[in-house]
Homo-oligomer: A and B are copies of this chain.
Amino acid sequence: MIKPLTTPARGMRDFLPEDVRKRSYVIGVIRDVYERHGFEPLETPAVENIETLLGKYGEEGDRLIFKILKRGEEGRQTGDADLALRYDLTVPLARVVAEYHGTLPKFFKRYQIQPVWRADRPQKGRFREFYQCDVDAIGSTSPVIEAEVCGAVSDVLERLGFTDFVIRLNHRELLRALLDVSGVPANLHDSALIAVDKLDKVDADGVVAELERRGVSAEAATRTLQAFGHSTTKAAAPQAAESSVAQAFRPADVDAQLERLLAGHDVGARALDNLRAVMRAAAATSAGAHLRLDPSLARGLSYYTGAIFEIAVPDLAGSLGGGGRYDNLVGMFLGQPVAACGFSLGLERIFVVMTERGMFPADVTASGADVLVTLWNGETIGTSLTIARQLRAAGLRVEVYPEADKIGKQLKYASSRHARYAVIAGDDERAKGTVMVKHLTSGEQTEVPQADLARWFDARPS
């Protein structure tokens, strides 16, 4: 027999118990913080009608969507797909807001923690199935919203033990204004932003080259990079030659530079004012200490219309999360514009950094039952299961050894499973209505009346 493949599909992962416990810990913190911020839980299906997703994420997004074959003969013959896997949590939210418009609260604040799927090339910290943890607020254009979503994710990261994160802040209209004043024609803006978005991965010269490939003149390309605070070998700008994260630590300079560049560009100046209002509001939240204006932040997704955010930590190439304002996306489903803004945390990236830095509390990964109940022989199954039932009713985690192996073997198994105690009901104990309780690390044994067993454990917390 050829042994079939038993690995998970490419880019997908199995989570064994210890992994699940760690992930549940992080998700629990995120949920608690989001709830405190007044966001309510929403869940949408993993599978959407394919038209719901296509055309919402840009060209590359469309290509990375997992498509589901039509059922029956038709699918097999035509290769037609009518369904697709959820690609993010924002487009499904927009669909839900349109579907339940009128019944949802005027300000609909929801959180959503679910997996999404992208047919991306897997690499470190990037998988084809991964969890997003989103907060979004629908119905208001107030900068309070931006401040609140940034405050929520900032509280999450601080609760998890992160201190050194930066929330990079920019604005889609400010980006376009910078392209304008750099001489990039409006019809090339979308294309140019895709190039600028690569400043994290590609150096400034590489981005200039890509801008030129996309039809931007050499001069405009170089001016664009300068406007975004990056030097090129062709013309080193005075404020450049630093990573965007480092640069972001001088907010006053950036603001002054932008003020100067955008003087006379109304839309750009308004965008800058909006970012200032967001930063003023956010100063009253935990995000205040982490927010940095960063004009080079572009964000890949095409649906953003206003402020955009992305979280950077020094030792991670990608981001821990991102988001922004997308006032037109709901309108694509509803036919009328609805204000919306949100922030998405990436569970996998958070997990990678927390694992590398050893940030998980010890009790999160502690596995093992509280008690292993041994089995004396095949006739005493009822006794073992009765003892287990008593202890479970008292809230303890109890394993029952299922086979009548030698007690020594059963105790060895209990230790290997990191159980704290083993309970033994031998012939003598059963005759007396007692059980022997053995503490597995000290070896200490105590005889306890079976009827008192739950109380005995109750007096010995953890």
Chain A residues at the B interface, C-beta cutoff of 8 Å: 1, 3-9, 12-17, 19-21, 23-24, 33, 35-38, 40-49, 51-52, 63, 66-69, 71-72, 75-81, 83, 85, 95-96, 98-100, 105-107, 109-110, 115, 117, 119, 128-129, 137, 140, 142-145, 147-148, 151, 155, 280-281, 283-286, 332-335, 367, 369, 372, 375, 381-386, 389, 392, 395-403, 413, 416-417
Contact = CB atoms under 8 A, between A and B. Distances in A.
A107 B109 CA distance: 45
Contacts of A382: 280-281, 283-284
Contacts of A140: 402-403
Contacts of A110: 17
Contacts of A41: 15, 17, 20-21, 24
Contacts of A416: 105
Nearest to A31: B24
9 tightest CB-CB pairs across the interface, nearest first? A79-B79, A38-B399, A12-B45, A17-B40, A284-B385, A20-B41, A6-B99, A144-B402, A142-B402
Given A69-B79, A402-B144, A403-B140, A37 B5 contact: no
A9 B402 contact: no
Contact of A4 (B40, B51, B77, B417): B51
A3 B330 CA distance: 11
A71 B119 contact: yes
A148 to B, nearest CB: 6
A377 to B, nearest CB: 12
12 contacts: A3-B333, A8-B44, A9-B45, A12-B48, A15-B42, A17-B42, A33-B392, A37-B392, A68-B69, A77-B79, A145-B402, A281-B381
A72 B79 CA distance: 12
B286 A389 contact: yes
A407 B17 CA distance: 50
A240 to B, nearest CB: 34
Nearest to A152: B392
A142 to B, nearest CB: 4
A105 B81 CA distance: 42
Contacts of A47: 9, 12, 66, 85, 117, 128-129
For this chain, the copies found in one complex come to: 2
Contacts of A7: 99
A333 B6 contact: yes
A383 B147 CA distance: 13
A100 to B, nearest CB: 7
Given A5-B52, A41-B21, A375-B144, A389 B284 contact: yes
A94 B324 CA distance: 42
Contacts of A151: 385, 389
A110 B279 CA distance: 47
Contacts of A81: 69
A6 B17 CA distance: 37
A400 B3 CA distance: 58
A78 B79 contact: yes
Nearest to A286: B389
Contacts of A392: 33, 36-37, 155
Contacts of A8: 44-45, 48
Contacts of A109: 399
A155 B142 CA distance: 49
Nearest to A395: B36
Given A4-B332, A46-B46, 12 more contacts: A3-B335, A8-B44, A16-B96, A17-B110, A36-B398, A38-B369, A46-B117, A67-B68, A68-B68, A106-B413, A143-B381, A147-B381
Nearest to A1: B335
A60 B282 CA distance: 56
A299 B429 CA distance: 42
Given A46-B46, A46-B129, A381 B284 contact: yes
Given A14-B45, A68-B67, A402 B6 contact: no
Nearest to A38: B399
B400 A38 contact: yes
A274 to B, nearest CB: 13
Contact of A96 (B14, B147, B369): B14
A335 B6 CA distance: 11
B385 A147 contact: yes
Given A52-B4, A285-B385, A142 B40 contact: no
